[in-house]
Amino acid sequence: MSFKAGMVQLRSSTDPARNVKDASALIRSAASQGARFVSTPEMTNLFEPDRERLKAITRPEAEDLAVKGFSELAAKLGIWLHIGSLALKSEGDKLANRTLLFSPEGKIVARYDKIHLFDVDLANGEVYRESASYTGGQAAVVVETPLAPFGLTICYDVRFPALHRALAMAGAKVLLVPAAFTVPTGKAHWHVLLRARAIETGSFVIAAAQGGTHDSGRETFGHSKVIGPWGEVICECGTDPDYKVFEIDVAQADAARAKIPNLRHARDFDVKTVSAA
């Protein structure tokens, strides 16, 4: 099974309406070139580092204007639309960092809440405490579509190989890694992490990202990438808003897994700690 897919790179702002408009324009461009599936980055609807303002302007999924807008867009274009993630109100005073997959009829057919939350202090002084605003998800998700079985992840999840292996073992052949990587970590790790997840699972990886200096002053790495199941880079963006259209031949994932059948060779094992003192 082969199909044309699209990947959108954004520079989302603190204005949700503007973000939906900008994302929609690039999604339309990809669809106009034949993409039947389009993927967008993490935080497509809102890139707002101020915690209190973030909580003040987010809405529950059922009331969010971005959800409504992207549902209508998917139906109008007749495409599978993967919104990498949206900031949405959840339970209590916490938010959900949530992926939504819309069918060509505009229906939400899959949801995934980011499991691994990014809490770090970077050497350049930047501090991130995703857990202060968001509640982590509890379940990994594989969604079977007529195009391909997709495994859903978000950004920091890429550093957890066990998640991607579990998705592949459950049938995923295309792993989706929408992201908003920082510049320091992006320069050091983005490329190699994506290739590693593709190679070790024999999967396509589509990683739509945020890129550039946002109106909040924060910078993201960009360099959205598509990686093939053998680890080859199929296409890549720079740091500006952009889109790419490319071919996904799902049979290539089967071929890669036949050459290196490590998914079938996994064995349970114990870990022993031995003291040499």
Catalytic residue ranges: 42, 114, 155
The crossing angle, in degrees rounded to 10, of helices 161-169 and 191-201 is: 30
Structural contact between residues 61 and 110, judged by C-beta atoms closer than 8 angstroms: no
Task: Compute the distance between CA of residue 271 and CA of residue 89 in angstroms, rounded to an integer.
Answer: 41
Other beta carbons within 10 Å of 144:
13
Length of the chain: 277
Distance between terminal CA atoms of the chain? Answer: 57
Is 41 in a helix, a strand, or coil? Answer: coil
How many distinct helices (H) and strands (E) make up the chain?
Answer: 8, 16
